[in-house]
Chains A and B, each alone.
Chain A
């Protein structure tokens, strides 16, 4: 049973515009969320995280929003750059003690120059 879902397998955005990647989860016990970016033939790299005590976390061009009541989070990239083209995974866990992270299936972002 997929506890973390990314329903859009792909997304194309023009350079300079906003990219919005979405993620839904089913387990209300999840309280820590991360986004990873993955280039071909490389492992995922950490991008940004958010705890359930917050509803927004910002790091440069990247902002993650969390809507706990809807069990939904989103990653905003503004402005989008061609180098952002990659597969983005969201992940969720229960607690911060190194517990298991459940990953979504990923969204492939293409930023068109």
Chain B
């Protein structure tokens, strides 16, 4: 079974430029999460989707960040414009709503460097 797929794996951009990350969750998983992990820290939730609905985006900096999950499958996270402080690893995870453990399966992440 294929895991969570993310692209690109690495991205280097200059500040004020836009950037987008893509995530394809595990087939059948209707819950999708975007996390940001700063160096030396644990993942912090940015947004959670149930199917195509964003049910928790309270931690998403909405002035510059946006996300979408069309058709309740793939998702895209966008930053425009990027700032130096956005340098981090962006992780996508998915889970099966209603499963016994609510275990989240993570992708490998996208490492963003803003210069």
- Any chain B CB within 8 A of the CB of A103? yes
**How long is the Cα–Cα vector from A101 to B26 in the complex, in angstroms?**
19
| B48 touching A46, Cβ below 8 Å | no
| A32 touching B43, Cβ below 8 Å | no
Given A43-B4, A89-B42, A104-B42, is A32 in contact with B102 using a C-beta cutoff of 8 Å? yes
The interface on chain A, measured as residues whose beta carbon lies within 8 A of the other chain's beta carbons, has a size of 23
- Any chain B CB within 8 A of the CB of A29? no
| B50 touching A98, Cβ below 8 Å | yes
| B103 touching A106, Cβ below 8 Å | no
The residue that B108 contacts in the complex, of A32, A43, A104, with Cβ under 8 A, is A43
Chain B residue with Cβ nearest A38:
B106
| A98 touching B48, Cβ below 8 Å | yes
- A103 CB to closest chain B CB (Å) equals 3
Chain A residue with Cβ nearest B38:
A105
Q: Which residues of chain B are near A89, meaning CB under 8 Å?
A: 42-43
Given A98-B31, A101-B104, is A106 in contact with B42 using a C-beta cutoff of 8 Å? yes
| A44 touching B43, Cβ below 8 Å | yes
**How long is the Cα–Cα vector from A46 to B4 in the complex, in angstroms?**
13
Q: What is the interface of chain A, defined by CB distance below 8 A to chain B?
A: 4, 9, 32, 34, 36, 41-46, 49, 89, 91, 93, 96, 98, 100-101, 103-106
One of B14-22, B64-72, B90-98 at the interface: B90-98
**How long is the Cα–Cα vector from A26 to B105 in the complex, in angstroms?**
25
**How long is the Cα–Cα vector from A108 to B4 in the complex, in angstroms?**
24
Q: Which residues of chain B are near A91, meaning CB under 8 Å?
A: 42
- A63 CB to closest chain B CB (Å) equals 16
Q: Which residues of chain A are near B41, meaning CB under 8 Å?
A: 105-106
A-B contact pairs, 25 of them (CB 8 A): A4-B42, A9-B40, A34-B101, A36-B106, A43-B4, A43-B93, A43-B107, A43-B109, A45-B105, A46-B104, A46-B105, A49-B101, A89-B43, A98-B31, A98-B48, A98-B95, A98-B102, A100-B45, A100-B56, A103-B42, A103-B43, A104-B42, A105-B41, A105-B42, A106-B41
